[in-house]
Amino acid sequence: MIDAAARAVKPPPMTSNRTFGERVMRLVDDLARHTDGPGLTRLYLSPAHRATAEAVRGLMEAAGMSAGIDAVGNVAGRFGPADGPVLLIGSHIDSVVDAGPFDGPLGVVAGLVAIEALGREGVPLPFAIELLAFGDEENVRFPTNLSTSYAVAGRYDPAWLEGRDADGVSLRDALRAFGTDPEGATALGRDPGQAIGYLEVHIEQGPVLEAENLPVGVVSGIVGISRARCHVTGEAGHAGTVPMTMRRDALAAAAEMIGAVERIGARRSDTVATVGVARPQPGAVNVIPARVDFTIDARTPDDVVRAAMMTDIAAECRAIAERRGVAFGLESTMESPATPMDPGLTAALEAAMAASGLPPRRLVSGAGHDAVAMATLCPAAMLFVRCLKGISHNPAESITAEDADMAVRVLVEAIKGIARSRQGS
Amino acid sequence: MIDAAARAVKPPPMTSNRTFGERVMRLVDDLARHTDGPGLTRLYLSPAHRATAEAVRGLMEAAGMSAGIDAVGNVAGRFGPADGPVLLIGSHIDSVVDAGPFDGPLGVVAGLVAIEALGREGVPLPFAIELLAFGDEENVRFPTNLSTSYAVAGRYDPAWLEGRDADGVSLRDALRAFGTDPEGATALGRDPGQAIGYLEVHIEQGPVLEAENLPVGVVSGIVGISRARCHVTGEAGHAGTVPMTMRRDALAAAAEMIGAVERIGARRSDTVATVGVARPQPGAVNVIPARVDFTIDARTPDDVVRAAMMTDIAAECRAIAERRGVAFGLESTMESPATPMDPGLTAALEAAMAASGLPPRRLVSGAGHDAVAMATLCPAAMLFVRCLKGISHNPAESITAEDADMAVRVLVEAIKGIARSRQGS
């Protein structure tokens, strides 16, 4: 079926797919001008977020979509019929403090440029496309995490509205100031019977694609995350007068534990484990450390493997503590399950890559994304785009126009492939 | 020869050597009441230091000594003839902030009580005894270290007078405010031809004697100290998106280096090595650490061994850094040579211990003492006294009256032994 609205699209004057990349780069640059301060900082529901949402709505409307800003600040634009099956495409437009321009906006803009191309080509689609620009992915301002994509997935918890930012402003009041009715947040869930899938394009935020000289890769799954705070308690002492055999050095013990965390994290290619924080006390050159607090962050796409990692880490740390006569405590601070990607949509992305002459490459997403929330609504899949040195959450975040071009081409091909498979079924 | 001044001493009314310990404990308690604030804090040239010095001078004079306060604030009391050979005994009366009562004053009081006993007994001595209460051992207020004992050793550097405390007060002005003439500091050196030796009683500040159930031990030597600041520079990264094989984790590298420092420190029974400070940056649960700064403190009484330790530590750290692809820098911040104790005086202390029924036990001093400065003037030896759990620089610092009693008895016996050996020669 060919939809009237799709045929009505007035695409920008483009002569070739080769310019997808240039348009993506220009639009990302345009959106990056909306910031709450120097550099790029665009926290959820800030004035810069509002300005960006308005700009995205304008782009959607210019591409022939019916678009609006919803009760939690999402920009939602629909391409194609207002009812019936819908393929969702999205990412986020909020940012961390002092961010790069691509983390989030790339996925929104790639979706927009793909829809522009589909409209320009007049491709018949057996479903509508809804493009979503989420607002609460970076988990910076409020205690919430992915609240805007969970709203679209129909899983908004009204208790989240009571959460407050560092200035004491509640999420409810911030939504009102943004210009929406927060009471509508729980009514945004899409019909799972009509949502045929969710696709998200995102920069990799890691070094794998660059190392393998690949412009894009398909995400096999989004890791689950376990976090813990650990405490090692030994005994302070004079660095000169306590013999090595009589010490209960908390830092020497913690150092051995940090080695164990690293070793367990490196056991498999799809696991990682990190100690990012370590604080020895009292912290003087001539005093044997009495206590060290450190953190653990362990990730893998397999929840059973992740649980085993944390069990092994805790057991090794306890054995080290016992052998050294120090006390060890471990307090879990996060248990976030893994999100596998949908095999059918993932295969559609891989087929689209093959059609563009790219080898298949599946990689794990070590970071969370809106796809985690959307996967609770419908099948979900993600396409990662190579970024310079894996740098993200930093003004140095960078991708090439060529890779952006490839991402849009793969997305367009994947949408066509999904359309063919539904038409064939 | 028996000296007239010694015979003139009016000892306090004591009936038995068994009360040495009680008198030591009472005098230490008395001196501990002089403090610059709550608890016990007695910085060099402070009002509390002045009050303590006056009290010590009074005790010396009551014991029949001619006593005074010198140009750098030392209290010096002479027992016996004003000229001729002299045995020096001393320790310090300054303290760290929030100190215990024994670190320093024990040695001054033990010397005083020993002299009182010798006077009471009318023991003939072929030398005078000079008791010294030094003022600048703890290295807290001014940049100087052991300046007052180095003054007695004839090694006062007048440049030290320009050093300033945290309030900007120069040492010269502080000495004037204390009531002395700082220009006299360089004229305090004793005649090396007459100084037959230096003895110092001090709490162990370590756990060895307590662990071996011994009241006192003889110091074989005072360690040399090497200190360094180290810098490990890797690369920051997302704790989820950078595979373990592509990381350059500065903390994981530093942890392995801390293990190497500990291992090298434990190679011999007379070596120690400590990492007391370690600061990972940026220090976030989900960020791979980019940099760690840490300190090394290595000690042993053998300077050749100490140099080899530092060479080996640096080599192991460099090898770890190279294998992990991180940068490593090591900057030496202290090289303080070891001070061996005099074999003859050490043997005299051991013979005195044997006469009291104690087994010989030599132990290394892992901390610096005034004996380091005095050993540049004359033969020096030290007697360590067991302290509770090795605790020092802390209000919980504690010794027993029985152990104090034993320390004075050993000191008296050693002095008599030194006298016999000189009379015999």
The string of DSSP codes covering B2-47 is --HHHHH--------GGGHHHHHHHHHHHHHT--SSSS----TTSH
Chain A residues in contact with B266 (beta carbon < 8 A):
244-245
pLDDT-flagged residues of chain A (< 70): 1-18, 425
Tell me which DSSP letter residue A251 carries. H
**Nearest Cα to A165, choosing from A186, A138, A132, A188?**
A138
Residue A240 sits in a domain whose CATH number is: 3.30.70.360
Tell me how far apart the alpha carbons of residues A222 and B269 are, in angstroms, rounded to a whole number. 52
Chain A residues in contact with B227 (beta carbon < 8 A):
285
**For position A18, what pLDDT does the model report?**
60
A244 contacts chain B (CB < 8 A): yes
- B319 lies in a domain? yes
Scanning every residue of chain A, which has its alpha carbon at the shortest distance from the alpha carbon of B211?
Answer: A246
Closest in B211, B227, B278 to A251, CB measured: B278
Q: In this predicted model, what pLDDT tens digit does every residue of B370-401 receive, in sequence order?
A: 999 999 999 999 999 999 999 998 899 999 99
> By the 8 A CB rule, do B229 and B372 touch?
no
> Are B190 and B261 contained in the same domain?
no
- A162 lies in a domain? yes
> Are A231 and A195 contained in the same domain?
no
Chain B residues in contact with A363 (beta carbon < 8 A):
none
> Are A104 and A214 contained in the same domain?
yes
Q: In a 3-state reduction of DSSP, which class is residue A410?
A: helix
- A8 lies in a domain? no
> Are B236 and B366 contained in the same domain?
no
**For position B65, what pLDDT does the model report?**
97
Chain A residues in contact with B251 (beta carbon < 8 A):
258, 275-276, 278
**Nearest Cα to B379, choosing from B330, B414, B331, B405?**
B414
φ/ψ of residue B330, rounded to 5:
-135, 125
> Are A53 and A149 contained in the same domain?
yes
Tell me how far apart the alpha carbons of residues B188 and B185 are, in angstroms, rounded to a whole number. 6
- Both tokens of residue B205? 């500040």
- A9 lies in a domain? no
The whole domain housing A36 covers 20-222+338-423
Tell me which DSSP letter residue B206 carries. S
Residue A104 sits in a domain whose CATH number is: 3.40.630.10
Do B272 and A244 make contact, defined as CB atoms within 8 angstroms? yes
Q: In this predicted model, what pLDDT tens digit does every residue of A176-198 receive, in sequence order?
A: 999 999 999 999 999 999 999 99
Do B276 and A366 make contact, defined as CB atoms within 8 angstroms? no
Q: In a 3-state reduction of DSSP, which class is residue A184?
A: helix
- B6 lies in a domain? no
Could you read off the pLDDT tens digit of each residue along chain B, which spans 425 residues?
A: 334 444 444 444 444 446 999 999 999 999 999 999 889 999 999 999 999 999 999 999 999 999 999 999 999 999 999 999 999 999 999 999 999 999 999 999 999 999 999 999 998 999 999 999 999 999 899 999 899 999 999 999 999 999 999 999 999 999 999 999 999 999 999 999 999 999 999 999 999 999 999 999 999 999 999 999 999 999 998 999 999 999 999 999 999 999 999 999 999 999 999 999 999 999 989 899 999 999 999 999 999 999 999 999 999 999 999 999 999 999 999 999 999 999 999 999 999 999 999 998 999 999 999 999 999 999 999 999 999 999 998 899 999 999 999 999 999 999 999 999 998 75
Closest approach of chain B CAs to the CA of A225, in angstroms? 9
Closest in B266, B283, B285 to A244, CB measured: B266
Tell me how far apart the alpha carbons of residues B27 and B9 are, in angstroms, rounded to a whole number. 19
Residues in chain A: 425
> Are A349 and A307 contained in the same domain?
no
Asked which of A304, A336, A368 is the last residue of a domain, the reply is A336
Q: In this predicted model, what pLDDT tens digit does every residue of B143-154 receive, in sequence order?
A: 998 999 999 999
Q: In a 3-state reduction of DSSP, which class is residue A281?
A: strand
- B11 lies in a domain? no
> Are A278 and A332 contained in the same domain?
yes
Give me the total of CB pairs closer than 8 Å, taking one residue from chain A and one from chain B.
189
Closest approach of chain A CAs to the CA of B28, in angstroms? 23
Scanning every residue of chain B, which has its alpha carbon at the shortest distance from the alpha carbon of A288?
Answer: B276
- A402 lies in a domain? yes
> Are A141 and A31 contained in the same domain?
yes
B307 contacts chain A (CB < 8 A): no
Q: In this predicted model, what pLDDT tens digit does every residue of B190-232 receive, in sequence order?
A: 999 999 999 999 999 999 999 999 999 999 999 999 999 999 9
Closest in A242, A259, A390 to B390, CB measured: A242
**For position B9, what pLDDT does the model report?**
43
**For position B15, what pLDDT does the model report?**
45
A262 contacts chain B (CB < 8 A): yes
> By the 8 A CB rule, do B222 and B316 touch?
no
Closest approach of chain A CAs to the CA of B401, in angstroms? 22
Do A299 and B239 make contact, defined as CB atoms within 8 angstroms? yes
A5 contacts chain B (CB < 8 A): no
Give the bridge partners for B292, in sequence order. Answer: B232, B280
> Are B342 and B332 contained in the same domain?
no
ipTM comes to 0.86
Burial of A192 from C-beta contacts in 10 A (0-12 / 13-18 / 19+): exposed
Asked which of A284, A305, A336 is the last residue of a domain, the reply is A336
**For position B170, what pLDDT does the model report?**
98
**For position B8, what pLDDT does the model report?**
42
**For position B4, what pLDDT does the model report?**
40
Closest in B243, B258, B271 to A251, CB measured: B258
CA atoms within 13 A of residue B26's CA, in its CB half-sphere: 8
- Both tokens of residue B189? 């050196």
- A13 lies in a domain? no
Do B241 and A271 make contact, defined as CB atoms within 8 angstroms? no
Asked which of B301, B336, B371 is the last residue of a domain, the reply is B336
How many distinct structural domains can be found in chain B? 2
A396 contacts chain B (CB < 8 A): no
> Are A316 and A357 contained in the same domain?
no
Chain A residues in contact with B249 (beta carbon < 8 A):
262, 274
> Are A27 and A163 contained in the same domain?
yes
Share of chain B above pLDDT 90, in %: 90
Tell me how far apart the alpha carbons of residues A351 and A9 are, in angstroms, rounded to a whole number. 27
**Nearest Cα to A56, choosing from A41, A42, A67, A64?**
A67
**For position B425, what pLDDT does the model report?**
55
Residues in B 53-112 with any Cβ partner in A closer than 8 A: none
> Are A314 and A345 contained in the same domain?
no
